[in-house]
A and B are shown apart, each in its own frame.
Chain A
């Protein structure tokens, strides 16, 4: 049982490049989330999807877009990467809106 799977695990980009972070869960969860974690800033919500077909902004959405492809998959796209987006990105999922979230292993992204 894989839980929440994120790809890639590591990525280095140049400023201005674009890329998509992939997330898939096999727990039949309804809600999915994208966070970034920076030293001294804690975990901050970028975007979330309360259910299939819906997406909403979190605390720090600027510079990102998301797609809830189906119930299992929720992707995060950086259209034009900036050094300020260097971070560790975590995807999470939960059965419902008030239930515990379960995290993937993270993507470590560096933008030069």
Chain B
């Protein structure tokens, strides 16, 4: 069974701090990695995607990928109360590039003013 693991949290950080969210995956053939933000009662919203090893930055968000260690992380700089949400890690289901995504159960982030 291909798996994506996240710490469910809650992860609590003060406003202005860096929030670090982590995700590990089991399928070494996975090639596409995504972070979604989901507010309570709402649909998942794409935050970042990354395909290559290393870092990818977009505003306050940085995605980091290490395929050798099979982990992907999301850093949120200058965290704001509006960042409080559940963050879902998603990984494509390996070989064949089917488009099938495996989601982790999500990490709840709380940013305290």
Do the beta carbons of A50 and B98 come within 8 Å of each other? yes
- Residue B49 lies at the interface, judged by CB distance under 8 Å to chain A: yes
Majority DSSP secondary structure for residues of B touching A: loop
A103 to B103: give the CA distance in the assembly, Å: 14
Do the beta carbons of A43 and B100 come within 8 Å of each other? no
Of the A-B pairs whose beta carbons lie under 8 Å apart in the complex, a sample of 6, sorted by A's number, is A33-B101, A42-B103, A97-B98, A100-B34, A101-B46, A101-B99
Nearest to A43 among chain B residues (CB) is: B103
Which interface class (under 10, 10 to 19, 20 to 34, 35 or more) fits B? 20 to 34
On chain A, the residues within 8 Å of B43 by CB distance are: 90, 103-106
Do the beta carbons of B92 and A42 come within 8 Å of each other? no
A101 to B33: give the CA distance in the assembly, Å: 11
A106 to B100: give the CA distance in the assembly, Å: 19
